[in-house]
Amino acid sequence: MDMKTLEEAKDIFFGRFRPDRRTGPEEVSVEEAWGRVTAGPVFASMSAPTYHSAAMDGIVVRSEDTYGTTERNPKILKIGEEALWTNTGQAIPDGYNSVIMVEKIHQLDETHVEIRTPSYPWQHIRKVGEDIVTTQLLLSENHSIRPYDVGALVAAGVFSLKVWQRPRVVIIPTGSELIHHKNLRDPGQLQKNQIIEYNSLILAGLVRECGGVPIIYDIVLDQEEDIKYALEKAVDSDAHLVIINAGSSAGSKDYTANTIEEMGEVLIHGVAMMPGKPTILGVIKDKPVIGNPGYTVSATLSFQQFVRPLLLHLQGCKVPKVGTIKVRPTRDIPSKLGIEEFVRANIGKVGEKIVATPLPRAAGSITTLTRAEGIVRIPALSEGVSQDEEIEAELLVDEEEILNTVVIVGSHDVTIDIIGDEIRRRGYNVRVSSGNVGSLGGILALRKEACHMAGSHLLDTESGQYNISYIQKYLKGVKASVFHLVMRDQGLITAAGNPKGIKGLEDLTREDITLINRQAGSGTRVLFDYKLGQLGIEPDAIKGYGHDEFTHMAVAVDVLSGAADCGMGIFAAAKALHLDFIPMEREQYDLIMPSAIVNDPNIQVVFEIIQSNTFRERVTALGGYDPSKSGQFWMEVG
């Protein structure tokens, strides 16, 4: 079967399962009605108010008895005969038809009051049906019931009503490599070639977000008969929709499409979208069966395109437009012609521009979804977008959050995460978005106005000073302020117990030692190369010098997994993974920002945090950090 474009696939799928398809009605009590959708028009069973009542405190009278009363010619009414005391809300007794408010009455004695103006019929009376008249249309069909609709229902004597059933969605996780996390006492028990199953939990959450009820089946092995058995069970159940979620190992034989074809019909096999290409859309016994791709991001995006609209329609809900925002990419985003691409991006407002920095495109990377503020959609007919184009991004967070995002890019440091966490802990409406592009990358991003601050620890090997000469060179013309964030220990990260007995950089030329390097433009690389130069060691003499990573943690992970024997990085990374560490330098890590924004409220929140004791304590607890100068202004450049 040919791959279809996203639009074609939608046309076919929603042509088969049309927007007027519904789950079917069920009767619920008003107590359960909130958030449900009416399965038919609802009419009032009674009027509200149900009786004429006083709208004021005072007396009820017959208006005829008050005619002719004037200021000069007051009238005396006898309580119990011509007038009765009443309170707001009390029923008007038979035979009376008007209320005089207490402020207009002069009480003469126990049984007599004087009035000085006449009262007209129905004065200050809330009449039957003033709010609701029996038989009137109260709520239309397909109306989402809000809290005050519930009140109106009860007020109108409607104590139960028909709503659309919540769509029930069976989710079948498949994959022989999958293991349910409940079957692991702790994560350390995980074996090689085992993957914890979590797509079904994500899909269940997405189903609930759409008002549906997820039913997660046990994990099904990659065997045709097992898949068929699970699908049969699902299709014959009372579910309205079935999602079968392929295992992550796309290489294992894919039985899903075959089985659906055998049991029913495959409408679509492959959609020209990325991530999400291997989506299968089918139908068995008139029930929609969706073969969702195995990679998490693919599964999520495919769900949003096909399952979400259907779940909403099934309950009579409209599909709300996804919020969008105009953004400017901080770099060109190339894309494959003929494929609609969904690029997750960090988005924030820098100066007057909303900037979007694309995140890695790996479809298996769940953090590209959790970290993203939005998704840039690149149409199939485009080969990508350039950084000069304004484009639209779909929002994953509130627009207000975007406007209050502080964008920090540059060198990677754990303390940036702590800033973000402390801001949220204190309840500030400010979000920190951080991108790891190396120290020099950060300064260049400042120059492009793609971030608010750059985190940098670039050593000028001639002056011995950090950052300043780089700012002078790469930020020419921009007045920039430099603040200390932390001092931190750099050194060689080695395996736990240092099995190869590495003592220092001199050992890196040994035949049995493989290095993992950091990327060019990172402060760590500058420091490393400087140290090698001091010792007169040639890069060519070091095995692995040409292989680099983008973060301290990645270096530490390579050492942990044995992919390398050592690499330069900060103590905190070694400590986190229980590795050994040979300290070599206490370096300076600064935050650089345009002087013009230093007093912006959101930036001031960052200062409040990094000057706080809590921040210092948390940073100290990481080890290898010295926060004594955190938040101190160092110098203005330019």
Find the DSSP H helices in 404-448: 414-425, 438-447
Contact in structure between 490 and 555 (CB atoms under 8 Å): no
Shortest distance in whole angstroms from residue 77 CB to its own copies: 19
Q: Judged by CB, which is closer to its own copies: 89, or 583?
A: 89
In the numeric block, which tokens belong to residue 35? 């958030």
Shortest distance in whole angstroms from residue 295 CB to its own copies: 10
Q: Judged by CB, which is closer to its own copies: 22, or 447?
A: 22
Of residues 344, 260, 256, 332, the one with CA closest to residue 298: 344
Tell me how far apart the alpha carbons of residues 214 and 195 are, in angstroms, rounded to a whole number. 22
Tell me how far apart the alpha carbons of residues 492 and 556 are, in angstroms, rounded to a whole number. 10
**E strand segments, 30-144:** 42-43, 53-54, 58-61, 75-78, 83-86, 98-101, 106-109, 112-115, 125-126, 137-139
Tell me how far apart the alpha carbons of residues 559 and 555 are, in angstroms, rounded to a whole number. 6
Shortest distance in whole angstroms from residue 463 CB to its own copies: 34
Q: Judged by CB, which is closer to its own copies: 35, or 80?
A: 35
Shortest distance in whole angstroms from residue 485 CB to its own copies: 16
* Bridge partners, residue 282, by sequence: 266, 289
Shortest distance in whole angstroms from residue 279 CB to its own copies: 17
In the numeric block, which tokens belong to residue 45? 């069973």
Shortest distance in whole angstroms from residue 191 CB to its own copies: 9
Q: Judged by CB, which is closer to its own copies: 143, or 287?
A: 143
Shortest distance in whole angstroms from residue 314 CB to its own copies: 11
The SS3 assignment for 37 reads: strand
Shortest distance in whole angstroms from residue 382 CB to its own copies: 26
Q: Judged by CB, which is closer to its own copies: 427, or 477?
A: 427
Of residues 580, 636, 444, 633, the one with CA closest to residue 521: 444
Q: Judged by CB, which is closer to its own copies: 170, or 468?
A: 170
Shortest distance in whole angstroms from residue 230 CB to its own copies: 20
Q: Judged by CB, which is closer to its own copies: 51, or 633?
A: 51
Residue 316 Cα to chain centre, angstroms: 25
Q: Judged by CB, which is closer to its own copies: 564, or 582?
A: 564
**E strand segments, 165-319:** 168-173, 178-179, 195-196, 213-216, 241-245, 265-269, 273-274, 280-284, 287-292
Contact in structure between 409 and 382 (CB atoms under 8 Å): no
Q: Judged by CB, which is closer to its own copies: 226, or 399?
A: 399
Of residues 484, 479, 451, the one with CA closest to residue 636: 479
What is 305-334 written as a DSSP string? Answer: IIIHHHHHHHTT---PPPPEEEEEESS-EE
